């Protein structure tokens, strides 16, 4: 009953005496509430108590919470490693957004990339001027804006295809960037 009323401390005390097997489930639910109200330190502790070791869904949710709370509490390495271990793409996106807000751009881009959010990863790599990583992601990027940013950066560097005399690559890049009329004109 205390659990249903969200009297978490009472529910945990009762579970400790009467039903210890319920402690991880109550702790996880309490952690979710604490996270939503900004109580990250306590949420982290309760997410850790929510790990059972034998309940897959329960553990995935608890470990995802540990990853998010670790990042929010400043233990970026732990949170990043935990997020990378989990199969959830959404967790990678959420943790990437938190890291991006914390100005941890390299880690944010890494999570976006592992979560297959290529546009978001490329956007962060562009902010860091990591053109090699942007180039790797180009075939997977659907945003014409990102392709254009990459092209402008390369043009400013004096390394865009036309200045190198590589018209074939320039045409291919324009087609990939969905600038078909410019590609046709150049061809």
- Helical H segments across the chain, by residue range: 8-18, 23-36, 40-49, 56-72, 76-85, 89-101, 105-114, 118-127, 131-137, 144-156, 167-176, 180-186
Give residue 5's pLDDT.
47
What's the pTM? 0.76
Handedness of CA 176, 157, 153, 129 (dihedral sign): positive
pLDDT at position 2, please? 47
Per-residue pLDDT of the chain in tens (187 residues, 90 and over written 9): 445 445 566 677 776 777 778 878 888 888 999 999 999 999 999 999 889 888 888 889 999 999 999 999 999 999 999 999 999 999 999 999 999 999 999 999 999 999 999 999 999 998 888 888 988 888 888 887 888 787 777 766 655 765 556 677 677 777 766 677 877 787 7
**54-82 burial code (b ≥16 CB/10 A, e <16):** eeeebbebbbbbbbbbbbbeebbebbbeb
Nearest to 142, CA basis, from 177, 187, 108, 179? 177
Rounded CA gap, 36 and 1, in Å? 22
148 touches 177 (CB < 8 A): yes
Predicted pLDDT at 159: 53
How many CB atoms lie under 10 A from the CB of residue 173? 21
């Amino acid at each position: 009953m205390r659990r249903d009323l969200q009297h978490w401390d009472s529910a945990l005390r009762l579970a400790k005496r009467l039903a210890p097997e319920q402690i991880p489930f109550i702790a996880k639910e309490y952690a979710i509430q604490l996270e939503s109200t900004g109580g990250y330190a306590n949420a982290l502790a309760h997410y850790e108590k929510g790990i059972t070791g034998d309940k897959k869904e329960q553990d995935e949710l608890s470990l995802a919470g540990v990853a998010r709370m670790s990042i929010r509490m400043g233990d970026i390495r732990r949170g990043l490693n935990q997020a990378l271990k989990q199969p959830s793409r959404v967790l990678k996106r959420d943790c990437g957004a938190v890291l991006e807000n914390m100005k941890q751009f390299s880690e944010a881009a890494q999570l976006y990339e592992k979560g297959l959010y290529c546009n978001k990863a490329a956007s962060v790599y562009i902010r860091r001027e990591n053109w090699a990583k942007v180039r790797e992601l180009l075939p997977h990027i659907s945003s014409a804006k990102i392709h254009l940013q990459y092209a402008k950066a390369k043009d400013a560097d004096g390394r865009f295809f036309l200045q190198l005399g590589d018209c074939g690559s320039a045409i291919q890049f324009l087609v990939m960037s969905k600038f078909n009329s410019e590609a046709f004109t150049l061809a």
